[in-house]
Amino acid sequence: MRASFEPEQCHHCESPSCVRVCPTGASYRRSDGLVLVDAEDCIGCGYCIIACPYDARYFNPETHVVDKCTMCVQRVDNGQPPACVQTCPTKVRVFGDLNDANGRLHRTLATRRSQVKKVQTGNDPQLYYLL
Ligand code: SF4
Ligand code: SF4
């Protein structure tokens, strides 16, 4: 028997269904590709939880708004990698700008086979799994 492990999180989709269904604009996609939730504008309707094909969102019972992976946006804005990338003991996670031809992410995807999940959703997910 063989066991395998696969982390799951927000795929920071280029065409995110969570953003399309959000009635208040609380869910939005930044120009750098991060998909975020503005807690001030979230009314907790849960539409985005249903619309996400990756089960990436959840209702936070403490804040009464929807939460998800933010890709450690505060760290990214300070030029640091997300905490999961920095702390992964085997360094299997790579974070970067797909358009940066000299970056490690670009080089990794150019030299390794990879796939995205549920491509048929049309969400254009930006999380690549190396094969
Ligand atoms: S994975 Fe789900 S929550 Fe994340 S951007 Fe895509 S549709 Fe939205
Ligand atoms: S729960 Fe919040 S972020 Fe999700 S669709 Fe409703 S208002 Fe938008």
Shortest-distance Cα residue to atom 5 of ligand 2: 22
Q: Rounded distance, CA 19 to CA 25, Å?
A: 7
* Domain coverage including residue 123: 17-130
- Distance (Å) from CA 18 to ligand 1 centroid: 6
Q: Which residues pair with 40 in a beta bridge?
A: none
φ and ψ of 129, to 5 deg = -105, 125
pLDDT for the residue 31: 94
CATH of the domain at 79: 3.30.70.20
Size (the chain), residues: 131
27 lines ligand 1 (CB under 6 A): no
- Percentage of the chain modeled with pLDDT above 70: 100
Specify the amino acid at residue 62: E
Task: Identify the pLDDT of residue 4.
Answer: 81
Mean per-residue pLDDT for 69-93? 95
pLDDT value for 99: 87
Within-domain flag for 4 = no
pTM listed for this prediction: 0.93
24-28, 32-36, 82-86, 88-92: segment of lowest average pLDDT:
88-92
Query: How many domains, the chain?
Result: 1
- Is 27 among the domain residues? yes
Which pLDDT does position 64 carry in this prediction?
93
pLDDT of residue 7: 84
